[in-house]
């Protein structure tokens, strides 16, 4: 049964095995209403397989996934009410026009979807090319048609798999604006992406998967905070400042480079260093906190050691092993 309070996506112990290959290894996901939820991972991490299971396209070997409390494997198409999107590249009938493709899909959706065709074509700015065969569309136009076909369903949950892949910079920018706008209007978005800046710009919560397992699930801000606070310092005498930083208690990993000094410290140690620099006659030009970027954190989580072995269970807050792994090692 569907539950009005049920989250848009809830996966528990999701496993997909292809003979000896374990594509998805006990993944838990919690996408809440209103989330713009980033689903990150390197190629082959199991993102698309997970999304296919969510949409009922493939059967989980173990575990379950529910959309608004409905299991696609049990409820079939009814489980997808209020859900739209695409996995991998959106595919259409190349011998039909863009409009005919949307008419077909609207017929398969029923209940007034056909009346929204002009509206969604306008949203994705495909109206002038709607009468052309999809076979002649560029990759970007097909991506936009994919979004248009999803919007036909007036979804409450939009599942997008690499929507900006293959788009030129302007197309990527427009795609981000559209997603942002849909999210601002209350749509929950589950966004699988390789584009870390895109995720950083759009998403408030993320799951990072590696080798079929979730290695982090939670808010992006928590992830970045737990990645360790760093500082960047520029002075009138960086060499002297480096010596002082290394002598100061509570300052770690102090290194000089062309842009000054980088180090890690808590606020109390930073204050003490400022005073020490002043006493030593070293002028501070800039002193700024430097949060780890999503890219830094992503690579630390997915490239350090054996991700599968160290991955915690998927919870809202990362476990101790996450925090240990997120501490910068430079």
Partner 1 sequence: MSSVAASPPATAARAVRTRGPSVATVYRWELRKLISQKRTYLGFALVVILPIFFVVFQNVRQSHDRGGDNIFAAQITQSGLATPVLMLLFLSVFMLPLAAALVAGDIVAAEDGNGTLKTILTRSVNRGQVFGAKVLAAITYATIAVFLSAAVATAAGVVSWGFKSVRTFSGTIVSAPEALLLVFASNGIYLIPLLTVAAIGVLLSTATRNSAAAVVGTIGLVIFLFILAQIPGLEGIRPYLLTEQFENWHGLLRTPTDWAPIAHSAWVCALYALPALFAAYLIFLRRDVAGG
Residues 47-76 within binding reach of partner 1 (CB under 8 A):
49, 52, 55-59, 76
Q: Which of 44, 62, 74, 93 binds partner 1 (CB under 8 A)?
A: 93
Residues 269-308 within binding reach of partner 1 (CB under 8 A):
none
Binding status of residue 120 toward partner 1 by CB under 8 A: yes
Binding status of residue 128 toward partner 1 by CB under 8 A: no
Where does this chain touch partner 1 (CB under 8 A) — which range of 91-99, 199-207, 211-219, 291-299? 91-99
Q: Which of 44, 62, 108, 247 binds partner 1 (CB under 8 A)?
A: 108
* Nearer residue to partner 1 within complex by CB, 108 or 255: 108
> CA nearest 35: which of 122, 120, 160?
160
Distance (Å, rounded) from C-alpha 106 to C-alpha 100?
Answer: 10
DSSP one-letter code for 170: H
Binding status of residue 123 toward partner 1 by CB under 8 A: yes
- Measure CA 60 to chain center: 22
Distance (Å, rounded) from C-alpha 12 to C-alpha 19?
Answer: 21
CA distances for 50 relative to 16, 65, 113, 142, 163, angstroms: 8, 9, 27, 23, 16
Binding status of residue 99 toward partner 1 by CB under 8 A: no
Cβ-count burial 294-307 (b if 16+ within 10 Å, e if not):
bebbbebbbeeeeb
Distance (Å, rounded) from C-alpha 272 to C-alpha 239?
Answer: 18
DSSP one-letter code for 322: H
Binding status of residue 149 toward partner 1 by CB under 8 A: yes
Where does this chain touch partner 1 (CB under 8 A) — which range of 3-11, 63-71, 151-159, 224-232? 151-159
DSSP one-letter code for 162: S
Binding status of residue 31 toward partner 1 by CB under 8 A: no
3-state secondary structure of 27: strand
List residues near partner 1 by CB under 8 A: 49, 52, 55-59, 76-78, 80-82, 84-96, 100, 104-105, 107-113, 116, 119-120, 122-125, 144, 147, 149, 151, 153-156, 170-171, 173-175, 177-178, 181-182, 185-187
């Amino acid at each position: 049964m569907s539950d009005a309070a049920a989250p848009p996506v809830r996966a528990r112990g999701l496993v997909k095995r292809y003979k000896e290959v374990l594509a998805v290894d006990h993944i838990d996901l919690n996408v809440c209403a209103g989330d713009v939820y980033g689903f990150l991972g390197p190629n082959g991490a199991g993102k698309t397989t997970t999304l296919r299971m969510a949409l009922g396209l493939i059967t989980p070997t173990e575990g379950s996934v529910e959309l608004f409390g409905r299991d696609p494997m049990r409820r079939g198409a009814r489980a997808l009410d209020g859900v739209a999107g695409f996995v991998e590249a959106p595919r259409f009938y190349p011998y039909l026009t863009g409009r005919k493709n949307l008419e077909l899909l609207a017929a398969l959706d029923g209940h007034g979807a056909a009346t929204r065709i002009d509206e969604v074509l306008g949203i994705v700015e495909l109206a002038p090319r709607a009468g052309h065969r999809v076979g002649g569309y560029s990759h970007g136009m097909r991506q936009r048609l994919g979004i248009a076909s999803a919007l036909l369903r007036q979804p409450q949950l939009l599942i997008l798999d690499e929507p900006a892949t293959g788009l030129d910079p302007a197309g990527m920018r427009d795609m981000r604006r559209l997603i942002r706008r849909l999210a601002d209007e209350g749509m929950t978005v589950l966004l699988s992406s390789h584009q870390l800046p895109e995720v950083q710009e759009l998403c408030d919560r993320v799951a990072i998967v590696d080798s079929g397992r979730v290695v982090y699930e939670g808010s992006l801000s928590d992830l970045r905070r737990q990645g360790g606070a760093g500082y960047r310092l520029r002075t009138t005498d960086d060499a002297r400042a480096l010596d002082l930083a290394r002598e100061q208690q509570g300052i770690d990993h102090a290194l000089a480079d062309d842009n000054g000094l980088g180090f890690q410290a808590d606020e109390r140690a930073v204050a003490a260093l400022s005073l020490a620099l002043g006493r030593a006659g070293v002028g501070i030009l800039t002193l700024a906190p430097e949060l780890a970027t999503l890219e830094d954190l992503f690579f630390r989580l997915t490239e350090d050691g054996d991700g599968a072995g160290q991955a915690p269970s998927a919870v809202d807050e990362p476990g101790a092993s996450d925090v240990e792994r997120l501490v910068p090692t430079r």
